[in-house]
Amino acid sequence: MDNFILLNKKKLFSFLNLLYVKNYGIAFSLLSSNSIFEYWLIITLSVLIIFIIFIKLYISDIYDIKLIISMLFILGGAIGNLVNRIINGYVIDFIDLHIKNYHFATFNFADFFIFFGVFLLFLNDKF
């Protein structure tokens, strides 16, 4: 992203843009005032989520492949965003989906993995 200017938009398709955004908060830029308390709160919550998923995978039925796959998607996304936040101090979001003038919140692949993992959990009634 070194050659991509902040908030610069590159149109790929009629419904998809690349938009370079620095997300200092959590989902949908909540807690984005960038105070030291919020920074550590976000990291603590991320580590807690990763820990809970590890525990859930450890005590789950090893033969429940659907549960394992969905948890691994969530875990991969959480770790990806956590590493991005630790290295940069923020998460880089760049996928801008839209229909006409309605834009969904800008996100990244890690966010998509988390969403997809939760979606799989709902499909399999594992909550």
Residue with structure tokens 């875990």? 75
pTM over cut 0.85 = no
d(CA 82, CA 110): 10
* CA dist., res. 96 & res. 104, Å (int): 7
Tokens of 92: 């880089």
- Whether 95 and 106 have beta carbons less than 8 Å apart is answered as yes
Residues carrying an active site annotation: 93, 111
- CA dist 16 and 65 (Å) reads 33
Q: Quick one: pLDDT at residue 116?
A: 93
Ranges of the chain with pLDDT below 70: 1-7, 26-35, 37-39, 60-63, 126-127
For the four alpha carbons of 61, 66, 72 and 78, in that order, the dihedral sign comes to negative
Q: Where are the domains of the chain?
A: 34-123
